[in-house]
Amino acid sequence: MHAGITEPLPPTSGMGISVASALVDCTNGSTMCRVMNATSRPVTWPADHVFAYLTPFDVSAMGVNLIDVTDCIQRTDNTRWT
């Protein structure tokens, strides 16, 4: 799996636009990215405008159980998972 972490380019941040930092799968050569306009004005980008970059991430260097969030998730009956 080819993966990376999305990050905004400095000019994008300077425009008041936020790009979600997320670990994404890039196996097929393209990916989706969430962008938020926190300004009160519309922003228009030309086609193929670059607003973020992808920092490569070696998923094979990480363990399968890197993060265990089951202790943070509560069941609907307000008891913890066991």
Number of structural domains in the chain: 1
Domain-located, residue 49: yes
The SS3 assignment for 40 reads: coil
Domain-located, residue 17: yes
Domain of residue 56, residue span? 3-61
pLDDT digits (tens, 9 = 90+) for 19-32: 888 888 888 777 78
Q: Which two tokens stand for residue 8?
A: 């905004």
Of 38, 35, 65, the residue nearest 50 (C-alpha): 35
pLDDT digits (tens, 9 = 90+) for 11-68: 888 888 888 888 888 887 777 888 899 889 888 888 888 888 888 877 776 655 555 5
